[in-house]
Amino acid sequence: MEDVEHVTRTIKDYVAREFAQGKVDDLTTTTDLLEQEIIDSLGIFLLVGYIKETLDVEIAPEDINMENFKTIDAITRLVTAR
């Protein structure tokens, strides 16, 4: 399993590159991605695919919910728990 810092950095870089362009000045690991409209339901599924491809972690369908994808920290916890 990847270390937490690597997972966090990988996810944050992807979110910043693919979704946050111009939406937030300072994306942090605690930025509410849903409230700030950085990511939506389609974005969550794109992110799940990226996590599987890049980090080789399968996210179960029952784990795909708003709480697990609210912040980069929440996504990191989900990925490192797998």
Domain count, the chain: 1
CA distance 57 to 34: 22
Structure tokens at 41: 């339901």
What CATH number does residue 25 fall under? Answer: 1.10.1200.10
Range from 8-12, 20-24, 52-56, 74-78 carrying the lowest mean pLDDT? 20-24
Query: pTM higher than 0.75 for the full model?
Result: yes
User: What is the pLDDT, as a whole number, of residue 2?
Assistant: 59
Query: Could you read off the pLDDT of 24-42 as tens digits, one per residue?
Result: 778 999 999 999 999 999 9
Q: Sort residue 38 into left (φ over 0), alpha (ψ -120 to 50) or beta.
A: alpha
Cβ–Cβ under 8 Å, residues 44 and 78: no
Quickly state the pLDDT bin for 21 (edges 50, 70, 90): confident
Q: How far, rounded to the nearest angstrom, does the alpha carbon of residue 48 sit from its chain's CA centroid?
A: 8
Cβ–Cβ under 8 Å, residues 57 and 77: no
Say yes or no to pLDDT of 73 above 60: yes
Domain that holds residue 49: 4-81
